[in-house]
């Protein structure tokens, strides 16, 4: 309450804006109590149903339990009372412990997995850890005594570290276990670490070291997985990979190999960027030299890898790269000072703070559930006959590739894209122009191009996030069905969605930069995308309205057909390159629009 | 001699046919605190936007911290802290994380960042609200957050557009104090409508009217202008006037309103000769009802400028 400076005015110094009165958390407590009741009921139902059918069935039990846990979480977030929050803290510690224990307790093998280790991890252990994280975060939000909150942070860091590092070790030495257990462990571990890093000061001290260590580890895993996927094959094939059948050098393949070598060496150039810390520079140089060396060696010598290497890229290599990549991205997002990272972070968080983000995700989940239902319906034509067959101990055979039957996915996906892209991109520049924050952004020492690309990255990232529910359903099918299926067409599908999504988002951002009115931007984006969708009609019709050349050009905009063919496993490289070029073009002219204010 | 913090030479800006800024030239020396005054629509915000590289000028040269705003715009922005009139902030972010992200964008070193943010928070007196969501803050706190953001990179030049508008009297006083404390380390150009406040803290004042620079001088010059003497005298106005005009040290005499037998005379002299004048008038037998001395204030200068073209 003292004046802020010795020569200040005789007025009383200003207080904090209003009196603070502790909340009477009556409603949250009631909800918490109800939640406790539901959870107990649910768990009892689940346990009882293991022995014989009860009034409250198994699915009812799950429903009650999940609803109850959400209610408890809400209470934990709202109620700051010391006793209550510490009870939640202890509960979260118990859950974390239980989750970690399921990692080591063995169980019975089934068809899908021959390993007995971590049998109960999916789904119980994972679930316990996930819920435990929620309660731990809620506990730490209210806890202001430093001993307890430090303990909480130690638990966060410890659990996250243990989970992530174990999944990395698992991935390196027992790649088969990666699908399913490994990746879930890694993701949960990263979630714990993310919450930890969000709480501590990441610019100095321990927080910085943890983030740095995570980044280094992630990069190491990424490079290791990449190397192990590429190097053995390259060295095993030797110079014959560059030659045609008649032992002459194939110009195209040689050119491709030279490009790869140059790309690897370009990492050394990237290492010269200023403002990079020493470990990053060393890492880039080492990786660049290693890869270049591998490619060079593989072009001239053979014999070092005599036996055909086991295919590693799919799925273990890819999954390990994803885990390493996710860790690296988390570390970069937390500590990097690059303008692009800072702006992207802010933009992405803004989606999570506005209703639009949740509406988009909820809508996508709804559409994914409808698509999955249609998919199952198509796969199992006659449910009664199936039930009859199964009761008699027989089986039903469905031919691969089953993912192709996910046709509902493409129709639903087209609608999803049509509706979600304008919703996501309409506020990117329009709101900043309206509120004036663009002025503050453009008078800071940031390049316009960085601003545009960061908005694009955040919107595209969120767009791709809305396709995760579809993937989750298929993971559930894998786990519950017990039988692995060929999911490789899914990868080409996701890539197709990704590149076309890039074009859509870039168009949306461009229109947003033209106007202060979000609705106008949304409508213009929607109109362009409808136009693109309508080219499907062109492909199927016999109309002579357009010449064959124009027709071919217009067919490139047909994303519906592209997605359908991608789902059956074929995606042309030309399509990918074309769409990425389009996206870059739209972003470029958006940058120019921003720069026009400088043209007087 | 080092380059002045802000140097504007013959600046013009037209929005189509509308001339917003008309051949304006001025300078702000390093460490100076300059008040930028003018009626609404006079061209203050436009000039500031040109200086902060948000807008290009139609002609003329503007330099901030020695860098040209058109050709060396990145360098200008690195040495500049800007607070627009509407104080645009992201309403969904918290104060602390907003300042952190702005510090990163402006290139504040990682090792110094936490200390710098704490310093700016203390300086702008927003410690109590550092964990609050920006959308829930009142106007006064929003402006202080904006000021903290402008300060965060310790820029050489601060340009503040109406930093006192909308604040309650206590907040105005405290903000003024903060701005005055900033002026030694930074060069500050701020615009305001609170003439009394500007008078209290500024070294120099620039007045813009209809796009043209009408006044650019130190405040001390205004204060040094000789005082004006108001006398209410009972007597024949013509005689009194001629007598006063012939008195020693008197430079000009104007006749004001009459109220009954008393007439007001406005006298300008080159020294303080109140006593001599009064005693000489009384000797002549004319009664004196009022002896009033008024120094010219900033408000008078401003009104004179604002009304001259009306």
> How far, in Å, CA of B178 to CA of B182, rounded?
6
- Among B88, B174, B181, the residue with its CB nearest the CB of A439 is B88
Residue A427 has pLDDT above 70, yes or no: yes
Contact between B159 and B189 under an 8 Å Cβ cutoff? The reply is: yes
| Tens-digit pLDDT profile for residues A565-582 | 888 777 888 888 999 999
Q: Which residues of A touch B74 (CB under 8 A)?
A: 445
The helix/strand/coil state of A222 is: helix
pLDDT value, residue B297: 79
Collect all residues of chain B within an 8 Å Cβ-Cβ radius of residue A199: none
**Which residue in the block uniquely carries the two structure tokens 């009631």?**
A30
Digit-coded pLDDT (tens) for B198-247: 888 888 999 998 888 888 888 888 777 777 888 888 988 888 888 888 88
Flag if A597 and B55 touch (Cβ within 8 Å): yes
Q: How many CB atoms lie within 10 A of CB A110?
A: 9
More confident residue, A564 or B309: A564
Determine which of A401-410, B71-80, B174-183 has the lowest per-residue pLDDT on average: A401-410
Query: With an 8 Å Cβ cutoff, are A14 and B101 in contact?
Result: no
Return left, alpha or beta for B10; rule: phi > 0 is left, psi -120 to 50 is alpha, else beta. left
Q: Please state, as a whole number, how many other Cβ atoms lie within 10 Å of the Cβ of residue B221.
A: 12
By the 8 A CB rule, do B53 and B73 touch? yes
The span from the CA of B120 to the CA of B150, in Å, is 9
* Chain B residues in contact with A354 (beta carbon < 8 A): 92
What is the rounded CA–CA span in Å between residue A329 and residue A332? 5
- Using alpha carbons, select from B106, B103, B127 the residue that is nearest to residue B116: B103
A238 pLDDT higher than 80: no
- Sequence-distant (6+) residues with CB within 8 A of A312 are A175, A228, A229, A232
- Given a cut of 50, whether residue A4 has pLDDT beyond it is no
The angle that helices A205-237 and A181-199 make with each other, rounded to 10 degrees, is 150
CB A443 to CB B90 under 8 A? no
For residue B310, the model assigns a pLDDT of: 45
User: Are the C-beta atoms of residues A171 and A182 closer than 8 Å to each other?
Assistant: yes
The pLDDT assigned to A502 comes to 95
Pick from B80, B90, B125: which is nearest to A443 by CB?
Answer: B80
Q: What is the DSSP string of A329-377?
A: HHHHHHH---HHHHHHHHHHHHHHHSHHHHHHHHHHHHHHHHHHHHHHH
Cβ neighbours for A415, distance < 8 A, ≥ 6 positions apart: A367
The structure tokens 């006659």 sit at: A382
User: Nearest-CA distance from B78 to chain A in Å?
Assistant: 6
The residue with greater pLDDT, B305 or B8, is: B8
* Beta strand B80-83 pairing with B157-161: parallel
Which has more pLDDT, A388 or A226?
A: A226
How far A5 CA sits from the closest chain B CA (Å)? 9
Question: Which of A467, A540, A451, A534 is CA-nearest to residue A499?
Answer: A467
Q: What is the DSSP letter of A401?
A: P
What ranges in B88-206 are assigned the alpha helix state H? Answer: 95-105, 110-123, 139-151, 169-182, 195-201
Structural contact between residues A287 and A267, judged by C-beta atoms closer than 8 angstroms: yes
Contact at CB, B88 and A354, closer than 8 angstroms:
no
Nearest to B171 among A14, A16, A204 (CB): A14
* Residues in chain A within 8 Å Cβ distance of B57: 600
Distance from CA of B59 to the nearest CA of A (A): 10
Q: What is the pLDDT of residue A394?
A: 65
Q: Please give the pLDDT value at position A12.
A: 46
Whether ipTM > 0.85 holds is: no
Measured CA to CA, the distance from residue B27 to residue B216 in angstroms comes to 9
User: What are the phi and psi torsion angles at A102 (to 5°)?
Assistant: -60, -20
Do the Cβ atoms of B111 and A5 come within 8 Å? no
> Is A3 within 8 Å of A54 (Cβ atoms)?
no
DSSP state of A250: P
Check A5 against B174: CB less than 8 A apart.
Answer: no
pLDDT of A276 higher than 80: no
Consecutive H or E run containing B191: strand B187-191
CA gap A478, A315 in Å, rounded: 14
B123: its two tokens: 């300086």
Distance CA A466, CA A341 (A): 21
Lowest mean pLDDT among A116-125, A212-221, A461-470, B266-275: A116-125
- Inter-chain touch B89–A437, beta carbons under 8 Å: yes
Bridge partners, residue B133, by sequence: B94
- Looking at residue A180, the DSSP 8-state letter turns out to be T
pLDDT greater than 80 at residue A137: yes
Count other C-beta atoms under 10 Å from residue A145's C-beta. Answer: 10
Give the residue on A whose Cα is nearest the Cα of B181.
A5
* Residue A70 CA: distances (Å) to CA of A43, A51, A126, A143: 14, 27, 16, 20
What is the b/e burial string over B171-210, where b = at least 16 CB atoms within 10 angstroms of the residue's CB? Answer: bbbbbbbbbbbbbeebbbbbbbebbebbbebbbbbbbbbb
Residue A57 CA to residue B231 CA, distance in Å, equals: 102
* Contact at CB, B181 and A444, closer than 8 angstroms: no
Task: Kindly report, residue by residue over B147-172, the tens digit of the pLDDT.
Answer: 999 999 999 999 999 998 888 888 88
CB contact under 8 A, B86 and A437: no
Q: Which residue of A has its CA nearest to B122?
A: A4
Look at B54 and A442 and tell me if their CB atoms are within 8 Å: yes
Residues of A with CB under 8 A from a CB of B: 4-5, 7-9, 11-17, 201, 203-204, 208, 335, 337, 339, 342-343, 345-346, 349-350, 353-354, 435-437, 439-440, 442-446, 597-600
Hey, which residues does B228 pair with through a beta bridge? B268, B294
A446/B177 Cβ within 8 A:
no
Give the mean pLDDT of A116-138: 80
Residue B2 DSSP class: P
Other C-beta atoms lying within 10 Å of the C-beta of residue A393? 6
What residues contact residue A168 under an 8 Å CB cut-off, 6+ apart? A186, A217, A221, A320, A323, A324
> Which residue from B74, B90, B114 is facing A437, i.e. has the nearest CB?
B90
B275, with CB counted inside 10 A (0-12, 13-18, 19+), is exposed
Give pLDDT tens digits for A146-201. 888 888 899 999 999 999 998 888 888 877 766 667 888 888 999 999 999 988 88
pLDDT tens across B56-103, in order? Answer: 999 999 999 999 998 999 999 999 999 999 999 999 999 999 999 999
Query: Chain A residues with CB inside 8 Å of B125's CB?
Result: 4, 14
> Is A9 in Cβ contact with B78 (below 8 Å)?
no
Using DSSP bridges, classify how beta strands B212-218 and B204-209 pair: parallel, antiparallel or unpaired.
antiparallel
Q: What is the pLDDT of residue A107?
A: 59
Q: Which of B84, B141, B171 sits opposite A436 (nearest CB)?
A: B84
Measured CA to CA, the distance from residue A309 to residue A232 in angstroms comes to 6
Q: How far is A346 from chain B (nearest CA, A)?
A: 8
Q: Provide the shortest C-alpha distance from residue A333 to chain B (in Å).
A: 12
Q: What pairs with residue B267 in β-bridges?
A: B229, B253
DSSP state of B94: B
Q: What residues does B207 pair with on adjacent strands?
A: B37, B215
**Model pLDDT, residue A179:** 67
pLDDT-above-90 percentage for chain A: 24
- Do A444 and B106 make contact, defined as CB atoms within 8 angstroms? yes
A478: Cα within 13 Å, side-chain hemisphere: 17
What's the pLDDT score for residue A24? 73
Among A7, A14, A15, A344, the strongest candidate for a mutation testing the B interface, having the largest count of B CBs within 10 A, is A14
Q: Which of A1, A444, A516 would best serve as a mutation to test chain B binding (most B beta carbons within 10 A)?
A: A444
pLDDT of A515 higher than 70: yes
Distance from CA of A10 to the nearest CA of B (A): 10
CA pair distance B117, B110, nearest whole angstrom: 11
Distance from CA of A33 to the nearest CA of B (A): 29
Q: In this predicted model, what pLDDT tens digit does every residue of A310-346 receive, in sequence order?
A: 776 666 777 888 888 999 999 988 888 889 999 999 9
* pLDDT value for A434: 92
Whether residue A4 and residue B93 make contact (CB cut-off 8 A), yes or no, is: no
Q: Write down the pTM of the prediction.
A: 0.83
The minimum CA-CA distance between A518 and chain B, rounded to whole Å, is 17
Run of H or E residues at B30: none
What is the 8-class DSSP label of residue B20?
E
Chain-chain contact of A436 with B86 (C-beta, under 8 angstroms): yes
The string of pLDDT tens digits covering residues A518-564 is: 999 999 999 999 988 888 777 777 666 767 777 777 778 888 888 88
Condensed to tens digits (0 to 9), the pLDDT of residues A8-37 reads 444 445 555 667 676 677 888 889 899 999
Residue A5: pLDDT above 50?
A: no
Contacts of A442 in chain B (CB under 8 A): 53-54
> For residue B76, which of B135, B11, B26, B7 has the smallest C-alpha distance?
B7
Question: With contacts defined as CB-CB under 8 Å, which chain B residues touch A9?
Answer: 173-174, 177
What's the whole-number average pLDDT of chain B? Answer: 88
**Contacts B77 to A, Cβ<8 Å:** 443-445
- Shortest distance, CA A4 to any CA of chain B (angstroms): 8
**Residues of B engaging A, defined by a Cβ cutoff of 8 Å:** 49, 52-58, 74, 77-78, 80, 82, 84, 86, 88-90, 92-93, 101-102, 104-107, 110-111, 113-114, 125, 128-129, 137-138, 141, 149, 170-171, 173-174, 177, 181
pLDDT tens, residue by residue, B265-307: 888 887 778 888 889 889 988 889 888 888 877 888 888 777 7
Q: What's the mean pLDDT in A53-77?
A: 86
Single out the residue of A62, A135, A64 nearest to residue A98, CA to CA: A135
From A129-143, A467-481, A494-508, the region with the lowest mean pLDDT: A467-481
- Rounded to whole angstroms, the Cα distance separating A258 from A139 reads 55
Give the count of Cβ contacts less than 8 A between chain A and B.
102
What is the C-alpha radius of gyration for chain B, rounded to an integer number of angstroms?
25
Cβ contact, residue pair B88, A443, below 8 Å: no
Q: Count Cβ atoms below 10 Å from residue B16 Cβ, excluding itself.
A: 6
Residues in A closer than 8 angstroms to B114, CB to CB, are 201, 203-204
Contact B289, B230 (CB under 8 A): no
pLDDT of residue A396: 66
Which residue, chain included where needed, has tokens 């239902």? A373
For A203, the enclosing helix (H) or strand (E) is none
Residue B11 clears pLDDT 60, i.e. is over it: yes
- pLDDT class of A7 with cuts at 50, 70, 90: very low
């Amino acid at each position: 309450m003292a004046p802020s400076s010795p020569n200040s005015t005789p007025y009383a110094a200003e207080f904090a804006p209003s009196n603070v009165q502790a909340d009477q958390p009556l409603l949250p407590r009631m909800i918490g109590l109800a939640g406790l009741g539901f959870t107990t009921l649910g768990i009892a139902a689940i346990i009882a149903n293991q022995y014989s059918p009860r009034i409250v069935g198994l699915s009812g039990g799950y429903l009650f339990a999940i609803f109850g846990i959400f209610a408890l979480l809400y209470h934990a977030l709202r109620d700051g009372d010391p006793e209550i929050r510490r009870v939640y803290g202890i509960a979260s510690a118990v859950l974390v412990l239980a989750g970690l224990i399921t990692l080591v307790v063995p169980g019975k093998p089934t068809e899908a997995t021959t390993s007995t280790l971590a049998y109960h991890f999916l789904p119980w252990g994972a679930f316990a850890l996930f819920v435990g994280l929620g309660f731990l975060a809620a506990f730490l939000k209210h806890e202001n005594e430093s001993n307890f909150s430090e303990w909480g942070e130690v638990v966060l860091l410890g659990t996250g570290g243990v989970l992530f590092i174990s999944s990395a070790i698992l991935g390196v030495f027992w790649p088969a276990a990666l699908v399913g257990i490994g990746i879930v462990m890694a993701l949960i571990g990263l979630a714990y670490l993310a919450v930890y890093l969000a709480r501590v000061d990441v610019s100095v001290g321990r927080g910085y070291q943890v983030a740095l260590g995570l980044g280094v580890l992630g990069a190491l895993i990424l490079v290791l997985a990449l190397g192990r996927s590429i190097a053995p094959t390259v060295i095993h094939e030797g110079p014959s990979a560059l030659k045609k059948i008649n032992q002459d050098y194939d110009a195209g393949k040689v050119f491709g190999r030279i490009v790869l070598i140059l790309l690897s060496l370009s990492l050394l150039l990237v290492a010269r960027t200023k403002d990079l810390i020493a470990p990053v520079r060393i890492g880039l140089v080492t990786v660049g030299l290693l890869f270049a060396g591998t490619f060079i060696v593989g072009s001239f010598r053979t014999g070092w890898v005599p036996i055909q290497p086991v295919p590693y890229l799919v799925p273990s290599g890819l999954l390990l790269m994803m885990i390493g990549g996710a860790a690296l991205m988390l570390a970069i997002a937390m500590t990097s000072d690059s303008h692009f990272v800072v702006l992207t972070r802010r933009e992405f968080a803004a989606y999570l703070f506005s209703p639009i983000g949740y509406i988009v995700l909820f809508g996508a989940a709804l559409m994914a559930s409808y698509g999955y239902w249609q998919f199952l319906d198509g796969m199992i034509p006659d449910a009664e006959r199936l039930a009859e067959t199964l009761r008699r101990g027989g089986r039903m055979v469905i031919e691969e590739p089953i993912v192709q039957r996910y046709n509902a996915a493409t129709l639903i996906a087209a609608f999803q894209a049509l509706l979600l892209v304008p919703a996501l991109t309409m506020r990117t520049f329009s709101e900043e122009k309206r509120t004036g924050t663009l002025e503050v952004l453009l008078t800071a020492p940031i390049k316009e191009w960085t601003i545009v690309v960061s908005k694009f990255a955040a919107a595209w990232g969120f767009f791709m996030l809305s396709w995760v529910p579809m993937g989750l359903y298929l993971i559930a099918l894998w786990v519950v069905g017990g039988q692995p299926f060929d999911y490789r067409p899914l990868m080409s599908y996701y890539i197709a969605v990704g590149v076309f999504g890039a074009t859509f988002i870039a168009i949306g951002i461009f229109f947003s930069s033209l106007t202060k009115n979000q609705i106008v931007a949304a409508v213009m984006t929607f109109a362009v995308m409808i136009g693109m969708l309508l080219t499907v009609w062109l492909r199927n019709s016999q109309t002579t309205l357009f010449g064959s050349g124009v027709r071919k050009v217009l067919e490139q905009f047909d994303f519906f057909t592209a997605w359908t063919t991608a789902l059956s496993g074929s995606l042309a490289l030309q399509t990918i390159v074309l769409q990425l070029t389009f996206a870059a073009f739209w972003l470029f002219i958006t940058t120019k629009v921003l720069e026009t204010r400088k043209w007087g | 001699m080092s380059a002045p913090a802000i140097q504007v030479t013959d600046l013009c800006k037209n929005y189509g046919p509308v001339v917003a800024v008309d051949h304006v030239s001025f300078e702000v020396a390093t460490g100076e605190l300059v008040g930028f005054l003018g009626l609404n629509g006079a061209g203050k915000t436009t000039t500031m936007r040109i200086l902060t590289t948000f807008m290009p000028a139609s002609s003329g040269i503007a330099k901030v911290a020695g860098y040209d705003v058109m050709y060396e715009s990145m360098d200008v922005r690195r040495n500049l802290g800007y607070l627009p009139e509407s104080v645009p902030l992201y309403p969904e972010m918290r104060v602390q994380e907003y300042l952190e992200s702005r510090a990163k964008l402006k290139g504040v070193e990682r090792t110094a960042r936490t200390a710098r943010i704490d310093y700016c928070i203390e300086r702008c007196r927003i410690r109590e609200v550092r964990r609050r969501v920006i959308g829930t803050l009142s106007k006064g706190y929003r402006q202080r957050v904006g000021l903290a953001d402008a300060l965060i990179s310790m820029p050489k030049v601060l340009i503040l557009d109406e930093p006192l508008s909308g604040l309650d009297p206590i907040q105005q006083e405290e903000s003024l104090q903060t701005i005055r404390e900033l002026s030694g380390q930074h060069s500050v150009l701020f615009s305001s409508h609170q003439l009394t406040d500007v008078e209290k803290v500024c070294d120099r004042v620039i007045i813009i009217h209809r796009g043209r620079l009408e006044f650019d001088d130190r405040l001390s010059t205004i204060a040094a202008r000789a005082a004006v003497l108001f006398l209410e005298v009972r007597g024949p106005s013509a005689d009194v006037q001629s007598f006063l005009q012939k008195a020693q040290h008197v430079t000009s005499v104007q006749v004001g309103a009459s109220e009954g037998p008393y007439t007001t005379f406005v006298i300008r002299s080159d020294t303080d000769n109140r006593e001599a004048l009064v005693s000489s008038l009384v000797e002549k037998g004319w009664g004196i009802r009022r002896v009033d001395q008024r120094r010219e204030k900033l408000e008078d200068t401003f009104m004179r400028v604002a009304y001259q073209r009306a």
